[in-house]
Amino acid sequence: MSSIFHRLKKKLYFVVASYFRFWANISLRRWKPKIIAVTGSVGKTTMLHLLELQLGDKAHYSHFANSAFGISFDIVGTRGITGSKKRWLKLLILVPWRALTFRHTEPYYVVEIDGERPHEAEFLATWLKPAVTVWVSSGRSHAIFFDTLVKQGKFPTVEEAIAHEFAQLAHNSKELVIIDGENPLMEKETTGITAQVARVKRDDLREYQVFPDHSRFVMQTGTFAFAYPLPEETYVQLAMLERLCQHLNLPVRHDMTEFTMPPGRSSYLPGRNGTNLIDSSYNAHLISMKSMLRMIQAMQAEHKWLVIGDMTDQGEGEADQHTKLGEVMATVEAERYVLVGRRTARYTKAALEAAGRGEKTISFIKTTDAKHYLETTLTGQETVLFKGSQYLEWIVEKLLENPDDIVKLPRQEEAAKRRRASWGLN
Per-residue pLDDT at 82 exceeds 70 = no
Q: Which of 293, 280, 388 is nearest to 341 (CA)?
A: 388
pLDDT beyond 80 at 70: yes
* CATH number, span 267-422: 3.90.190.20
Q: Do 273 and 379 touch, CB atoms closer than 8 A?
A: yes
pLDDT value at position 7?
54
Comparison of pLDDT for 46 and 128, the residue scoring more: 128
Predicted confidence (pLDDT) at residue 4 exceeds the cutoff of 50 = no
Question: If you average pLDDT over residues 75-99, what whole number do you get?
Answer: 84
Q: What are the domain boundaries of the chain?
A: 2-248, 267-422
Annotate the chain with three-state secondary structure.
Answer: CHHHHHHHHHHHHHHHHHHHHHHHHHHHHHHCCEEEEEECCCCHHHHHHHHHHHHHHHEEECCCCCCHHHHHHHHCCCCCCCCCCCHHHHHHHHHHHHHHHCCCCCCEEEEEECCCCCCHHHHHHHHHCCCEEEECCCCCCCHHHCHHHHHCCCCCCHHHHHHHHHHHHHHCCCCEEEEECCCHHHHHHCCCCCCEEEEECHHHCCEEEEECCEEEEECCCCEEEECCCCCCCHHHHHHHHHHHHHHHCCCCCCCCCCCCCCCCCCEEEEEHHHCEEEEECCCCCHHHHHHHHHHHHHCCCCCEEEEEECCCCCHHHHHHHHHHHHHHHCCCCCCEEEEECHHHHHHHHHHHHHCCCHHHEEEECCHHHHHHHHHHHCCCCCEEEEECCCCHHHHHHHHECCHHHHHHCCCCCHHHHHHHHHCCCC
Predicted pLDDT at 9: 59
How many angstroms from the chain centroid is the CA of residue 410? 12
Between 287 and 356, the more confident residue is 356
Is 10's pLDDT higher than 80?
no
**Per-residue pLDDT reduced to its tens digit, 20-53:** 999 999 999 999 999 999 999 888 989 999 999 9
Superfamily of structural domain 2-248: Mur-like, catalytic domain (3.40.1190.10)
Can you give the pLDDT at residue 3?
47
pTM (global) more than 0.75:
yes
Average pLDDT, the chain: 92
Altogether, the residues listed in the chain come to a count of 426
Structure confidence by residue, pLDDT tens digits, 349-383? 999 999 999 999 999 999 999 999 999 999 998 99
Give me the sheet containing 223-226, strands edge to edge: 207-211, 214-218, 223-226
Least confident range from 282-286, 298-302, 403-407: namely 282-286
Residue 144's pLDDT is 75
pLDDT at 218: 98
Q: Which residue has the higher pLDDT, 88 or 293?
A: 293
| pLDDT value, residue 110 | 98
Per-residue pLDDT of 156-215, as tens digits, reads 998 999 999 999 999 999 999 999 999 999 999 999 999 999 999 999 999 999 999 999
pLDDT band, residue 83 (cuts 50/70/90): low
* pLDDT at site 116: 73
Q: What was the pLDDT predicted at 141?
A: 72
Distance of alpha carbon 405 from alpha carbon 407, whole angstroms: 5
% the chain with pLDDT above 70: 96
| pLDDT-based confidence at residue 287 (cuts at 50, 70, 90) | confident
pLDDT tens for 230-267 read 999 999 999 999 999 999 999 999 999 899 888 898 99
Give pLDDT, residue 190: 97
**Are 36 and 131 in contact, with CB atoms under 8 Å apart?**
yes
Instruction: Summarize pLDDT for 311-331 with one digit per residue, the tens.
Output: 987 788 899 999 999 999 999
Q: Note whether 315 and 339 are within 8 A (CB).
A: no
The pLDDT confidence band at residue 5, using thresholds 50, 70 and 90, is very low
